[in-house]
Amino acid sequence: GVEGLSGIPGTVGASVVQNIGAYGQEVGSSVDAVRVWDREEGAVRNLTASDLRFGYRMSVLKASMYDAPATPAAKYFPTPRYVVLSVTFALRRSETGVVGYGQLAKALGVEVGDRMNIRHIRNAVLKVRASKGMLEDAGRYSADVMRGTKEAGLVSIACEAQSAQVGGTQPDYNRHSCGSFFMNPILTKQQAEKLPEDAPRFDAALPDGEPGVKTSAAWLIDHAGFHKGYKTDEDAAAGLSTLHTLALTNRGGAKAADIADLAKTVQDGVEDAYGIRLVPEPVVIGMDLR
């Protein structure tokens, strides 16, 4: 139930806060319960999957940090009310899984909905992610601040695999990002009617539970005039990935202000073109990206 999440860097605790998802799967679909420390009550609690109210990149854990999308709540931000202590998963015992995403199906040479060996699905996910620079830079574990956080043997294997993927040992700046920077917008049906005919549309639920339409943030960015590798100026230290417009990357020496400047430029451009304000996925501290 989690093979589609292969290659997403992070921790188990953070995965349920964000309800991470990729290639047709979300971690919330495989969670049975989460044991937390409730900072409000000063007690340990066990939250069921129902209690967690998982949604698109959302949970009751993450919601406790915000008053509204990208608007921090004064009491707990930048961390949730609940500290995750442990997660219990309910995984299905099977050697096969359903291919639930078009790009993944294409990589496997099958149709969406077909069943495949889970190992094959995982390997395809990693291959597709690598082709878009959406894997972490394994070389980061050689830095002093990261040394010892992963077994040396595993770091060596990861570095060798990365070298084979990118054709050398130089830094892969396309991997110097925090993943997909913007969430896919979920629109009302009235808002969706204003999109161009060729814009992607998927059934989704609005925050209030009413039917909505999800569209692609990457498509909006592309069609608002921001190409792969876009920078605000030629010498900018931050730029869009040369492989994937949804990743804002550090091209060497970028500071938080550089990323924020790039993010705001993209947000403003998409809003001018389509009337949609993109919401960041990362927790943004000390900057206003509403």
Q: Give the integer Cα–Cα distance in Å for 234 and 245.
A: 17
Cis before 78? omega within 30: yes
Q: Give the integer Cα–Cα distance in Å for 250 and 80.
A: 27
CA nearest neighbour of 186 among 167, 205, 161: 205
281 is catalytic: yes
Segments in 167-277 forming alpha helices (H): 189-192, 217-223, 256-274
Catalytic residue selected from 64, 180, 241, 251: 180
57 is catalytic: yes
Q: Contact at 8 Å (CB) between 244 and 228?
A: yes
Catalytic residue selected from 39, 53, 57, 277: 57
Segments in 19-151 forming alpha helices (H): 49-52, 60-63, 102-108, 118-131
List the catalytic residues.
57, 180, 281
